[in-house]
Amino acid sequence: MKTFKLGMLIVIAIGMVRCSNDVENDIQQESTITQQDVSSEILSKLQQMGFDMDKTSVIPSKGGYIVDGDIFITQETLERGDFQKQAFISIVDCNRAGNIRIQNALGNNAAGRGFQRGIDLWNRVNGTTLRLIPVNNNPDILVRLANPGEIGGWGLGEFPTNGIEGGLIILNLNEPSIDGDPVTAREWGNILTHEIGHNIGFLHAEQGFFGTQVPGTPINDRNSIMTSGSNPSVVFNANNVSRNDRRAVRRMYSNRNNRLCGR
């Protein structure tokens, strides 16, 4: 999500902490792709993971890289080079997906008040085993506020690797809403839903479902909570995740034999 001015669902749920003022918000796509100061080896590994490098910005950050505006991939992940989960898509293992512990470390502010909505929009999807469980300690995913200058947009989510969910989400209270007013609790909830999508394996819609489309979902979904550059209002004004978001997460995480999390 371009620190969240970038963001759709063509998630190849792989198929899918921003630390730079150079990173713009995840919902507003740049006309040029930034990949400067990134080695060809790193770009090649990202391509192996399924990213379309003709569409993907890559910015070096402390401990890793910010990819496509608001997806953080650690240096350790790239050095490991074990992308077997990305052979089709990178998502959380089935056994982990049913009990992902997530902690609200946002404090008493609009973002903190939007936390429950952020997890509810995924938990309400029926027909899926994915469950986000609020906890007060020992989380699998920590949701915290950005430090000064750490990110340049609304939010950032860490991508999963080797079957383990991304462990960090950062939200930036200093970023105004799309109308210039402060971001409301409801809007923060929608932003958090988008970022959680990255932590469980969703890319932005514009990435073409991370190289491989989730079966049963369309190539384009303008209503997806994972949408990015073309229409920022989609995420901010969403009442729910889209029908195709629901189709995708059901295919990724379910009890069916063709579920993707078991591959």
| Amino acid 229: pLDDT | 57
pLDDT score at 230: 58
Residues 101-127 have a mean pLDDT of 97
Q: What is the mean pLDDT of residues 170-176?
A: 95
Position 110 pLDDT exceeds 80: yes
Q: In which element (H, E) is residue 126 found?
A: none
Residue 207's closest CA among 15, 5, 4?
A: 15
Go through the domains of the chain in sequence order and give each one's CATH number: 2-254 (3.40.390.10)
Q: What is the mean pLDDT of residues 49-75?
A: 83
* Average pLDDT for 116-136: 97
Answer whether 194's CB lies under 8 Å from 3's CB.
no
5-14, 37-46, 136-145, 225-234, range with greatest mean pLDDT: 136-145
The chain-wide mean pLDDT, for the chain, equals 80
What DSSP designation does 4 have? G
pTM over 0.85: no
**Nearest-angstrom CA–CA distance, 48 and 93:** 20
| pLDDT at site 261 | 87
Residue 82 has pLDDT above 80, yes or no: no
Alpha helices in the chain (DSSP H): 40-49, 75-80, 94-97, 110-113, 115-123, 185-199, 233-237, 243-252
Q: What pLDDT sits at residue 83?
A: 53
Both structure tokens of 91: 């998502």
Q: Which residues are CB-neighbours of 1 under 8 A, at least 6 positions away?
A: 7, 25, 26, 27, 68, 69, 70, 71, 153, 154, 155, 156, 157, 194, 195, 198, 204, 226, 228, 235
Which pLDDT score, from 0 to 100, does residue 165 have?
94
| 220 Cβ contact partners less than 8 Å away, ≥ 6 residues apart | 8, 10, 205
Please state the rounded mean pLDDT for residues 67-75.
83
Is the separation of the CB atoms in 201 and 89 below 8 Å? yes
Work out the average pLDDT over 218-223: 80
Q: Would you say residue 85 has pLDDT above 60? A: no
